[in-house]
């Protein structure tokens, strides 16, 4: 049936889909408008196959029922849905590719907390399994501004719990095990026998699923297949509110895991993943690995895993990510690419086989096996490398720095800043950019300063205003950008980096002090926002 509607303001997808407060999504017509706009933007649903699933957070199931009814009314031929409406983001990406589907809806607000008073999100992934590129998200947004009606089947709910095929009107609905295909894919990428032998030899691990989507995946793969001791996976039952936690795998939000790893009782490896299973944290006994370093180390050692034995074609990293992986690319004699923040910018490079591995400083790493970042994939690649090299995490990191030098790195987040103040910070920086070159601030001389624009080498598209980057003589850099995933106010992110060719065991914040002060002096962030200390340091 057709339902008359009018445009709802603010349905502009951000870094990763449309993310809003759950109650906003629950308003009548809100989800419906966005889903219909997506159908309108992709040329309708007729005859299409779609993958549908989410991270299991509050409102996941009702939203899936609505999407299914709308898909049926829009002429979709087949919907493949994770049992109970659950699919991790990388598993959904894989299912799109495996089934040659036309795309998929992934319901998640990633690492943002879940619950009726927290966050919800929807993103559309395209045929290649990757997040809709900017050209498509712009079309979707444009469609939300002119929408007049949406289509929805007048049918009862589908039983999402029963694996098998059913129908909703003329649409076939196939309910699948969320883990099975993903599990099979991982077996093709890694040397499971070597990892099994590692665990059999007494290797110990803790994987914190943070009550989010990776619990079932991690139990099946790590414990039941690879032989990690039962109990390796903690917080393995997905909950609608993630146990009231903040399912973001970093030293702040995964503090219990960090505390364990820094204690005498630490296992050999600690790892965690986020709400929808695309982020990862890696920490060895007494040794936290920054995501930027993890990307570089994985790239340098990937050939030890069967899928990457022939080498990498190239490496891509988001602009704010440290230059550590560039050094690896240089040594390997392969290309490296710098893209804007957000996984959608890696899709073209992966499709064109220009890169094999990609990563972001925000705990995302992945490869050409899917078109999303993949938390468990990163953990399994680490395990494969540890199994072959027979060194500890700390030893592998130390060896990496000894070879390439160390990119000291930290990110400061200033959250819930009033939007106009946050914009004023960026505007002030923009105004100063042309005169910064050669100036000295806090003892550091500016060697380059610009606002990052990305020219996609595959489709020629240009993405502007992707963050201000200021480099200093001596290998320092500060980057400023506004978050595109928040649901309240603005978040100013300040990314600090300092290269060191020696002295690898210094205090991170102490090494970054000069860059921080230079960034403060140039940006006037404190004066313009009234904030001196960040809310979160990672």
Residues carrying an active site annotation: 110
Footprint of ligand G1P on residues 298-327 (CB under 6 A)? 318
- Look at residue 341 and give the partner it binds from Zn ion, ligand G1P, none, a contact being a CB closer than 5 to 8 Å depending on partner kind: ligand G1P
- The 227-266 site mask, x for binding Zn ion (CB under 5 A), equals ----------------------------------------
Q: Say whether residue 466 binds ligand G1P (CB under 6 A).
A: no
Instruction: Please tell me whether residue 16 binds ligand G1P under the rule CB under 6 A.
Output: yes
Non-local CB neighbours of 242 within 8 Å, separated by 6+ positions: 57, 113, 114, 210, 211, 212, 275
Q: Identify what 276 binds: ligand G1P, Zn ion, none; CB under 5 to 8 Å per kind.
A: Zn ion
Q: Which is nearer to ligand G1P, 110 or 368 (CB)?
A: 110
495 binds ligand G1P (CB under 6 A): no
Closest distance to Zn ion from the beta carbon of 379 (Å): 14
Contact status, residue 354 vs residue 143, Cβ threshold 8 Å = no
In Å, what is the CA distance from 232 to each residue of 182, 202, 203, 226, 250?
20, 13, 11, 11, 19
Q: Does 343 bind ligand G1P (CB under 6 A)?
A: yes
| 56 torsion bin: left (phi>0), alpha (psi -120 to 50), beta (else) | left
Given Zn ion, ligand G1P, none, residue 493, with its beta carbon under 5 to 8 Å by kind, binds: ligand G1P
Q: Which listed residue (97, 493, 516, 531) binds ligand G1P by CB under 6 A? A: 493
Nearer to ligand G1P, 343 or 401 (CB): 343
Positive or negative: CA dihedral 262, 267, 272, 278: positive
Asked if 274 is part of the footprint of Zn ion (rule: CB under 5 A), the reply reads yes
Q: Which is nearer to Zn ion, 245 or 476 (CB)?
A: 245
- Segment lying near ligand G1P (by CB under 6 A), choices 179-187, 188-196, 335-343, 469-477: 335-343
With respect to ligand G1P, which residue has the nearer C-beta, 22 or 485? Answer: 485
- Per rule CB under 5 A, is residue 360 in the interface with Zn ion? no
β partners of residue 441: 444
Question: Is residue 341 a contact point for ligand G1P (CB under 6 A)?
Answer: yes
CB contact at 8 A, 296 and 406 = no
Two structure tokens written together for 406 = 């160390």
The distance of closest approach from Cβ of residue 510 to Zn ion in the complex, given in angstroms and rounded to an integer, is 31
Q: Is 276 in the site for Zn ion (CB under 5 A)?
A: yes
Cα distance between residue 435 and residue 445, in whole Å: 12
Q: With contact defined as beta carbons under 8 Å apart, do 207 and 233 qualify?
A: yes
Q: Among all chains, which residue has been given the structure tokens 């890169």?
A: 355
- Chosen from Zn ion, ligand G1P, none, partner binding at 22 (C-beta under 5 to 8 Å by type): none
Q: 3-state SS of 132-144?
A: CCHHHHHHHHHHH
Task: Establish if 216 lies at the interface with ligand G1P (CB under 6 A).
Answer: no
Nearer to ligand G1P (CB atom), residue 78 or residue 481:
481
22 interacts with ligand G1P by CB under 6 A: no
CA-closest candidate to residue 494, choices 429, 403, 407: 429
- Tokens representing 121 are 């999100």
Min dist CB 291 to Zn ion, Å, is 13
Q: How far apart are the first and last CA of the chain?
A: 49
Query: Is residue 488 helix, strand or coil?
Result: coil
Applying the rule CB under 5 A, the residues between 95 and 114 that interact with Zn ion are 110
Q: Does residue number 278 form part of the binding site for Zn ion (CB under 5 A)? A: yes
We find the least distance from the C-beta atom of residue 400 to ligand G1P, in angstroms, to be 22
Q: Give the binding range for ligand G1P (CB under 6 A) out of 153-161, 337-345, 465-473, 497-505.
A: 337-345
Distances (CA, A) of 495 to 89, 213, 537: 26, 29, 10
Task: Report d(CA 212, CA 112) in Å as an integer.
Answer: 11
Q: How far is the CB of 105 from ligand G1P (least distance, A)?
A: 17
Beta strand segments in 333-475, E: 335-339, 357-360, 364-367, 406-417, 440-441, 444-451, 454-455, 462-463, 468-472
484 binds ligand G1P (CB under 6 A): yes
Distance, in Å, from the CA atom of 449 to the CA atom of 469, rounded to the nearest integer, reads 6
Residue ranges in contact with Zn ion by CB under 5 A: 110, 274, 276, 278-279
Residue ranges in contact with ligand G1P by CB under 6 A: 15-16, 110, 318, 341-343, 360, 362, 364, 483-485, 493
């Amino acid at each position: 049936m057709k339902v008359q509607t009018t445009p709802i303001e603010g349905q502009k997808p951000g870094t990763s889909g449309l993310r809003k407060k759950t109650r906003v999504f629950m308003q009548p017509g809100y989800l419906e408008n966005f889903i219909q706009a997506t159908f309108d933007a992709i040329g309708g649903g007729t005859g299409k196959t779609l993958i549908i699933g989410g991270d299991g957070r509050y409102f996941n199931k009702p939203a899936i029922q609505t999407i299914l009814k709308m898909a049926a009314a829009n002429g979709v031929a087949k919907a493949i849905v994770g049992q109970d409406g659950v699919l991790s983001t990388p598993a959904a990406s894989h299912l799109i590719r495996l089934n040659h589907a036309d795309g998929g809806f992934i319901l998640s607000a990633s690492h943002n907390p879940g619950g009726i008073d927290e966050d919800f999100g929807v993103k559309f992934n395209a045929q290649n399994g990757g997040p809709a590129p900017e050209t498509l998200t712009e079309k979707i947004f444009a469609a939300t501004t002119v929408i007049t009606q949406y289509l929805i089947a007048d049918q009862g709910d589908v039983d999402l719990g029963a694996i098998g095929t059913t129908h909703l009107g003329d649409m076939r609905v196939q309910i699948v095990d969320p883990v099975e295909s993903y599990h099979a894919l991982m077996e093709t990428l890694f040397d499971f026998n070597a990892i099994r032998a590692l665990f059999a030899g007494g290797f110990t691990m803790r994987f914190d699923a943070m009550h989010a989507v990776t619990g079932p995946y991690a139990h099946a793969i790590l414990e039941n297949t690879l032989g990690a001791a039962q109990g390796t996976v903690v917080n393995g039952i997905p909950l609608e509110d993630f146990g009231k936690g903040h399912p973001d795998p970093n030293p702040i939000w995964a503090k219990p895991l960090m505390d364990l790893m820094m204690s005498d009782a630490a296992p050999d490896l600690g790892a965690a993943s986020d709400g929808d299973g695309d982020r990862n944290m890696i920490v060895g006994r007494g040794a936290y690995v920054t995501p930027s370093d993890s990307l570089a180390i994985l790239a340098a050692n990937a050939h030890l895993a069967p899928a990457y034995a022939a080498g990498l074609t190239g490496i891509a990293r988001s602009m704010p990510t440290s230059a550590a992986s560039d050094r690896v690319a240089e040594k390997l004699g392969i290309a490296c690419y710098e893209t804007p923040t957000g996984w959608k910018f890696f899709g073209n490079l992966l499709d064109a086989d220009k890169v094999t591995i990609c990563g972001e400083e925000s705990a995302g790493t992945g490869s050409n096996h899917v078109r999303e970042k993949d938390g468990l994939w990163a953990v399994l690649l680490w395990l494969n490398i540890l199994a072959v090299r027979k060194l500890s995490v700390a030893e592998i990191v130390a060896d990496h720095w000894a070879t390439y030098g160390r990119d000291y790195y930290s990110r400061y987040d200033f959250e819930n800043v009033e939007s106009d103040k946050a914009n004023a910070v960026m505007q002030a920086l923009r105004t100063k950019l042309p005169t910064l070159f050669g100036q000295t601030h806090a003892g550091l001389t500016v060697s380059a300063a610009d606002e990052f624009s990305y020219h996609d080498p595959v489709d020629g598209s240009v993405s502007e205003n992707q963050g201000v980057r200021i480099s200093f003589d001596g290998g320092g850099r500060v980057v400023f950008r506004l978050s595109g995933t928040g649901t309240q106010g603005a978040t100013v992110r300040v990314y600090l980096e300092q290269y060191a060719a020696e002295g690898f065991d210094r205090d991170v914040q102490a090494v970054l002090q000069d860059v921080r002060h230079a960034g403060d002096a140039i940006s006037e962030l404190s004066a313009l926002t009234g904030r001196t200390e960040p809310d979160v340091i990672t």
